[in-house]
């Protein structure tokens, strides 16, 4: 296995939902400033694994988590840790774009405001900067006060990206972030990710193999709640060691 600096390291992570064993003894490392793609058939636990990185699975009643998830070496399931700080550090982009019920400007300023930035000038600067990074500034700069709900789905997802980036996370999680978008908008989001990986560690869940091939530096293949294989993208796609990985990539299981 190739040596890299892990940004997130997961050891013996087990997640139960009631009696259902969703994730089984997961041990993986997520490399820093690369795109890691989690692939696998639907229902294999991809989203659960992703949401365990920013403790969004805590919100599900009846879920129990054991094992270790470390971000920069810090155990994020330690009871003393402030969960809001973890989520500030690890941004997330959802399957469907969900703008907040407020203006475009307020959507981007939402996170910074919560974390104590209240000066107008500073907020203006943050909003402009991250709308530019998300590639939306030119389209919305004249109507920052209008409701975010009036944007198209593709624009909304870029707005969500700007909102995520505005709290200055180190890691960005994407839960099938292009699945609700048209092909052109999906392409744009993919390009944003490729641009962003020089500054951020990115983890994306997808069930679209071609998208995984386009984006991935590193791949984790999940099947029935277990990590079957993980490694550099080229190795996984061109020379998988495991029969099940081969079958999935060959389109025999889906």
Partner 1 sequence: MDRRQLEEAFFKGLMIASTVIIVGILFAILAVVLLKGAPLLSLSMLTQTPKGGYYLGKGGGILNAIIGSLYLAFGATFLSFIIAFPIALYLQEYARNRFASFVRLSLDILWGVPSIVYGAFGFTIMLYLGLRACLLGGIIVLTLLMLPIMTRAMDEVMRMVPHELRETSYAVGSTRLEALLRVVSRQALPGILTAVLLAFGRGIGDAASILFTAGYTDHIPHSLFDPAASLPLAVFFLLGTPLPEVQERAYAAAVILLVIILSTSVISRLLTTKWTKFVIK
Answer for which of 148, 203, 222, 227 binds partner 1 (CB under 8 A) is 148
Q: Considering only residues 101, 122, 234, 243, which one is a binding residue for partner 1 as defined by CB under 8 A?
A: 101
Tally the C-alpha atoms within 13 A of residue 241's C-alpha that lie toward its C-beta.
11
How many C-beta atoms surround the C-beta of residue 104 within 10 A?
Answer: 28
CB 156 within 8 A of CB 96: no
Strand bridging mode 20-31 / 6-17: antiparallel
Site string for partner 1, 50-89 (x = CB under 8 A): ----x-x--x-x----------------------xxxxx-
Show Cβ contacts of residue 78 under 8 Å, excluding neighbours closer than 6 positions.
none
- The region of 30-38, 90-98, 194-202, 207-215 touching partner 1 under the rule CB under 8 A is 90-98
Taking the complex as a whole, the smallest distance from the CB of residue 200 to partner 1 amounts, in Å, to 15
Site string for partner 1, 220-249 (x = CB under 8 A): ------------------------------
Give least dist CB 177 to partner 1, A: 12
Residue in the structure block whose two tokens are 């400033």: 33
Across-strand partners of 103?
147
Asked if 31 contacts 201 with a C-beta cutoff of 8 angstroms, the reply is: yes
Please give the angle made by the CA atoms of 62, 68 and 72, to the nearest 5 degrees. 125
In the set 10, 35, 37, 94, which binds partner 1 (CB under 8 A)?
Answer: 94
Nearer to partner 1, 87 or 158 (CB): 87
| Contact between 100 and partner 1 per CB under 8 A | yes
- Report how many residues bind partner 1 under the rule CB under 8 A: 32
Under rule CB under 8 A, residue 161 binds partner 1: no
On the 0-12 / 13-18 / 19+ scale of CB atoms within 10 A, 114 is exposed
- Interface residues toward partner 1, by CB under 8 A: 54, 56, 59, 61, 84-88, 91-92, 94-96, 98-103, 110-111, 114-115, 147-149, 160, 163-164, 166-167
């Amino acid at each position: 296995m190739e040596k890299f600096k892990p940004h997130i390291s997961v050891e013996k992570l087990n997640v139960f939902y009631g009696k259902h064993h969703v994730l089984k003894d997961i041990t993986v490392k997520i490399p820093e400033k690369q795109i890691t793609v989690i692939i696998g058939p639907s229902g294999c636990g991809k989203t659960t694994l992703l949401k365990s990185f920013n403790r969004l699975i805590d919100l599900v009643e009846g879920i129990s988590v054991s094992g270790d998830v470390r971000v920069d070496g810090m155990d994020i399931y330690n009871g003393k840790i402030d969960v809001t700080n973890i989520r500030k550090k690890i941004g997330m982009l959802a399957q469907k774009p969900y703008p907040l019920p407020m203006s475009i400007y307020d959507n981007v300023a939402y996170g910074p405001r919560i974390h104590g930035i209240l000066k107008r000038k500073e907020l203006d600067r943050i909003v402009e900067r991250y709308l530019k990074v998300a590639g939306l500034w030119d389209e919305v700069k004249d109507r920052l006060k209008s409701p975010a709900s009036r944007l198209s789905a593709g624009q909304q997802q870029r707005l969500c990206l700007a909102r995520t980036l505005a709290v200055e996370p180190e890691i960005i999680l994407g839960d099938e972030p292009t699945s609700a978008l048209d092909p052109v908008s999906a392409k744009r989001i993919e390009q944003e990710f490729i641009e962003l990986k020089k500054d951020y560690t990115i983890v994306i869940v997808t069930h679209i193999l071609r998208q995984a091939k386009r984006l991935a530096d590193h791949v984790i293949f999940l099947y029935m709640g277990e990590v079957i294989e993980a490694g550099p993208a080229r190795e996984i796609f061109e020379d998988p060691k495991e029969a099940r990985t081969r079958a999935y990539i060959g389109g025999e299981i889906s």
